A and B are shown apart, each in its own frame.
Chain A
Amino acid sequence: DAKTTQPTSMDCAEGRAANLPCNHSTISGNEYVYWYRQIHSQGPQYIIHGLKNNETNEMASLIITEDRKSSTLILPHATLRDTAVYYCIVRVGYGFKTIFGAGTRLFVKA
């Protein structure tokens, strides 16, 4: 399974954009990059995914570098409710076997 590396924690001011980086240098050509987040005491929540093109939905934008070795999740206007652990994972094989890892703990501050 391709591995991902993320910073342990990040701070962001409320109303500003939160940019969460992820490195996945060993990603294979057919592997997608997925982002999930987990708010305290809840199950993980799907945010967005992409293969090679940048993606945007109502929650966030995903920027994937041309070589696909890294990506950035962008929350355009962070709110206090966006405080959570954000997981970047790379899909391989069956289902979501890929280990989620520790993710990035994002703190949005007023």
Chain B
Amino acid sequence: GAGVSQSPSNKVTEKGKDVELRCDPISGHTALYWYRQRLGQGLEFLIYFQGNSAPDKSGLPSDRFSAERTGESVSTLTIQRTQQEDSAVYLCASSTQENTEAFFGQGTRLTVV
């Protein structure tokens, strides 16, 4: 596609349920990033992929969070046993290599009730 695509755009889930958020990066972009943005706050780095490998997972807030990437393309961010503090917009970005500008998707707004 022309840009980074994320799905779903909105997700409401009950506390304790698992959720999967999907990111389709721009074709050919080898680097992929996940961020979290709580209401009124800046972006919080979660994880970075180079190809299918994640050299930096330092931003994942707990072991309930995990992410994978396959085929150097689609990435899935999984949050297990969701908590209310997980409510945020989850943003995905991709770039051609590490040192070029990243292009962001529109995000998935997650609401845990």
Contact = CB atoms under 8 A, between A and B. Distances in A.
Interface of A: 32, 34, 42-46, 49, 87, 91, 93-103
Given A42-B106, A43-B107, A44-B104, A91 B99 contact: yes
Give the interface SS of chain B, mostly helix, strand, loop or mixed: strand
Interface of B: 4, 31, 33, 35, 41-45, 48, 50, 55-56, 58-59, 91, 93, 95, 98-99, 101-107
A103 B59 CA distance: 20
Contact of A99 (B44, B91, B93, B106): B44
Contacts of A102: 41-42
Nearest to A95: B48
Give the interface SS of chain A, mostly helix, strand, loop or mixed: loop
Contacts, number: 59
B48 A49 contact: no
A94 B42 contact: no
Given A95-B31, A97-B48, A44 B99 contact: no
Closest 5 CB pairs of A and B: A43-B104, A100-B43, A95-B48, A46-B101, A100-B42
A43 B34 CA distance: 12
A16 to B, nearest CB: 26
Contacts of A43: 4, 91, 93, 104-107
B107 to A, nearest CB: 6
B102 A46 contact: yes
A91 B45 CA distance: 13
Nearest to B100: A49
B103 to A, nearest CB: 7
Contact of A101 (B31, B42, B91, B106): B42
A103 B91 contact: no
Contacts of B105: 43
Given A43-B93, A95-B95, A103-B42, 11 more contacts: A43-B105, A44-B93, A49-B101, A95-B50, A95-B56, A96-B102, A97-B45, A97-B58, A99-B42, A99-B44, A102-B42
27 contacts: A32-B99, A34-B101, A42-B106, A43-B91, A43-B104, A43-B106, A44-B93, A45-B104, A46-B103, A87-B43, A93-B56, A94-B50, A94-B56, A95-B48, A95-B50, A95-B95, A96-B33, A96-B45, A96-B93, A97-B45, A97-B48, A97-B56, A97-B59, A98-B45, A100-B43, A102-B42, A103-B42
